[in-house]
Amino acid sequence: MPTLLLSPNDQMWVNKVIDIFNSHEPVVLPTETVYGLAAPVSSDVAVARIYEIKERPTFNPLIMHVKEEWDLSQWAEIGDVEKKLISLFWPGPLSLLLKKKGVSDLVTAGSKKVVLRAPAHPVFREVLDAWGAPLVAPSANSSTKLSATTAAGVLADLGEKIVAIVDGGTCEWGVESTIVEVVGDKVSILREGAISKEDLEKHGFSLSVSTKTESTPGSQLKHYTPSVPLYFFENEADWASSSSKSSLYLKVLSSDSSLSFEGRNIETLSQSNNYKEAASKLFEFLRTAQAQYTEIRVLKTQDVSLGRAINDRLLRASQR
Ligand code: TXA
Ligand code: MG
């Protein structure tokens, strides 16, 4: 069956999504970060389909998406610092790792903790309202591959494996939500994402030095892998050292390098030096580039604000 393409302007689009959930299949929905492959937490069959479609290892848990006004205490223990984070950043791209209460082991892959997030995207929120209960939604891409920030990007990767997709245009942020855990009175960033360290500090949260391991959320080193080699350079001279006509030389901001590349393919994610613009273009840019070049050579940008999440994705895209 070809994938059903829905637009938020179609009549009855929400009803169609709900019908598909009732038939125990996931639906691809836009969020403000990346597209998500959404399914009702209450349907073990639909949740299992997510793992099958993404070819995701079953030990990798799923984020539970909720509305901020719901009674969250039915699913997790929420302390004072978490409440403050929720009141400041929800709805929005901040996910919280919490001690779980009554959430199925299929969602959390057997862990005693659950990640909750209240997305800001109006399409996702309308579906949450209509369904009236939590939805799990990993990024809508094959496991270890690039995330998708347009409907076309999702279709290029998952194609007819998905029953339906709601096209919400290009995602605003382009990198996934930041995942944090509160430890004592400190906030630990487990996955860099759309909400930066600076955003948290600005509101007076003290950050603890995160002790990330490969089992920390979003920390598998091999992730976001393009189909051609991606090399990630900290040093400008190394970045520019080869001179292949079939290579792409990519920088994040225009100001990251002023080297000129006569006769070579050079691209910049944001000419106006805007990290948000760069992040929102990142994944679809790499998806297009992997079809056009034999290798992608990327220069690291500064580890500030969203630049940190961009560097994190690029470092992992370079692992083979
Ligand atoms: O922005 C986002 O967060 C997107 C949109 C679709 O909401 N979702 C997303 O989900 O990025 P996913 O599954 O691609 O990445 C979630 C990360 C995974 O690395 C997973 O291992 C981790 O969160 N995670 C989820 N639940 C967890 C749990 N209970 N314990 C530890 N890690 C968890
Ligand atoms: Mg993902």
Nearest CA to ligand 1 atom 18: 218
pLDDT digits (tens, 9 = 90+) for 178-205: 999 999 999 999 999 999 999 999 999 9
pLDDT digits (tens, 9 = 90+) for 22-65: 999 999 999 999 999 999 999 999 999 999 999 999 999 999 99
Amino acid at 191: R
The answer to whether residue 134 scores a pLDDT higher than 70 is: yes
- Going from the Cα of 150 to the center of ligand 2, the distance in angstroms, rounded, reads 15
The answer to whether residue 133 scores a pLDDT higher than 80 is: yes
At residue 157 the predicted structure's pLDDT band, cuts being 50, 70 and 90, is very high
Mean pLDDT of the chain: 95
At residue 15 the predicted structure's pLDDT band, cuts being 50, 70 and 90, is very high
Contact residues for 227 (Cβ-Cβ < 8 A; gap 6+): 290, 291
Q: Given this model, what pLDDT does residue 199 score?
A: 98
C-alpha distance from residue 284 to each of 146, 190, 265 (Å): 8, 24, 17
Backbone φ and ψ of 160, nearest 5°: -75, 5
Q: Given this model, what pLDDT does residue 211 score?
A: 65
Residues whose beta carbon lies within 6 Å of some atom of ligand 1: 31, 33-34, 36, 60-63, 93, 95, 97, 108, 111, 113-115, 117, 119, 137-139, 176-177, 179, 217-218
Nearest CA to ligand 1 atom 3: 177
Mutate to test the pocket of ligand 1, among 77, 115, 162 (most ligand atoms within 8 A of CB): 115
- Going from the Cα of 276 to the center of ligand 1, the distance in angstroms, rounded, reads 21
Amino acid at 306: L
User: Which tokens hold the place of 122?
Assistant: 């109006």
- Going from the Cα of 63 to the center of ligand 2, the distance in angstroms, rounded, reads 10
User: Which tokens hold the place of 128?
Assistant: 């949450």
The answer to whether residue 145 scores a pLDDT higher than 70 is: yes
Dihedral over alpha carbons 21, 166, 52, 58 (to 10 degrees): -90
The answer to whether residue 246 scores a pLDDT higher than 80 is: yes
- Going from the Cα of 137 to the center of ligand 2, the distance in angstroms, rounded, reads 9
Q: Given this model, what pLDDT does residue 65 score?
A: 98
% residues pLDDT > 90 (the chain): 91
Nearest CA to ligand 1 atom 32: 217
Section 112-137 average pLDDT: 98
How many whole angstroms separate alpha carbon 78 and alpha carbon 304?
Answer: 29
* Residue 309 · residue 276 · CB < 8 Å: no
- Determine how β-strand 27-29 pairs with β-strand 36-40: antiparallel
The answer to whether residue 278 scores a pLDDT higher than 70 is: yes
